Amino acid sequence: MNYIIAIDGVAGSGKSTVSKLLSKKYNLFFISSGKYYRAITYLYNKNNFHEINEDFINLVNETNIKLDNDSIYLNGEDISNQITDEMISNNISLIANNEIIRNIVNQKIREFSKEKDIIMDGRDIGTVVFPNANLKIYITASSWERTKRRKKELLELNKKVNIFSIWNSIVKRDYKDKHRKIAPLIKSKDAIKISSTKMSIEEVVNEISKHIKR
């Protein structure tokens, strides 16, 4: 196994931004595991499925899902912008709750560790995907702080903003991520917890860097 950093935490806590910066600083390959769940939710919506059945599992298995830096492709189609839609976030728990789908995603994302030193963000990276990761971080932030960050992101993408619906979706997603039966979001005992509400991105990066150096 190569060097692995697992970054878990709640939606909108800054995991991806921090992981991306650390990946550049330490020359690690960055994988956002949430992008796989988002891409599979996109596939589900696009093909008008109403339940996860054998046909859908076959479709997931037949579909080429490829991550390349910040972009994610479904059979060659770049769906990076589409997967950030609020519609995807609201429907994703159905996909993320399914054990067969989680196994497919885990198999794909574990492959990366065979060839590269990686930093991966998600909900179950330190607990399920890489329980032997070299460094585990668990990032949190208040729901209100995360709502403000999400609002800023959406405005930058020229998307519509409804502050209440953002907050509502964050709180609902936290609940679903933490209370699902399979691979719920929990802090691994050996993970270092960082509460980022009052911290800048740089401060979080510096804090994690101290542990990487150690």
Binding residues (CB under 6 A) for ligand C5P: these are 11, 33-34, 37-38, 92-93, 96, 122-125, 173, 177
CB of 155 to ligand C5P, least distance (A): 18
Q: Specify the amino acid at residue 210.
A: K
Helix (H, G, I), strand (E, B) or coil at 52: coil
CB of 187 to ligand C5P, least distance (A): 14
CB of 180 to ligand C5P, least distance (A): 8
CB of 213 to ligand C5P, least distance (A): 26
Which of 14, 8, 2 is CA-nearest to residue 189? Answer: 8
CB of 37 to ligand C5P, least distance (A): 4
> CA-to-CA distance for 64 and 172, rounded, in angstroms?
30
> CA-to-CA distance for 4 and 135, rounded, in angstroms?
7
Which of 20, 123 has the CB closer to ligand C5P? 123
Which of 93, 214 has the CB closer to ligand C5P? 93
Which of 37, 138 has the CB closer to ligand C5P? 37
CB of 173 to ligand C5P, least distance (A): 5
For residue 213, what are the β-bridge partners?
none
Which of 43, 210 has the CB closer to ligand C5P? 43
Helix (H, G, I), strand (E, B) or coil at 62: helix
3-state helix, strand, coil in the chain (%, to 5): 55, 15, 30
Which of 124, 145 has the CB closer to ligand C5P? 124
DSSP H or E run through 195: strand 192-195
> CA-to-CA distance for 27 and 165, rounded, in angstroms?
37
Which of 28, 37 has the CB closer to ligand C5P? 37
Helix (H, G, I), strand (E, B) or coil at 96: helix
Is residue 120 packed enough to be buried (19+ CB in 10 Å), middle (13-18) or exposed (0-12)?
A: buried
Q: Which two tokens stand for residue 39?
A: 């891409």
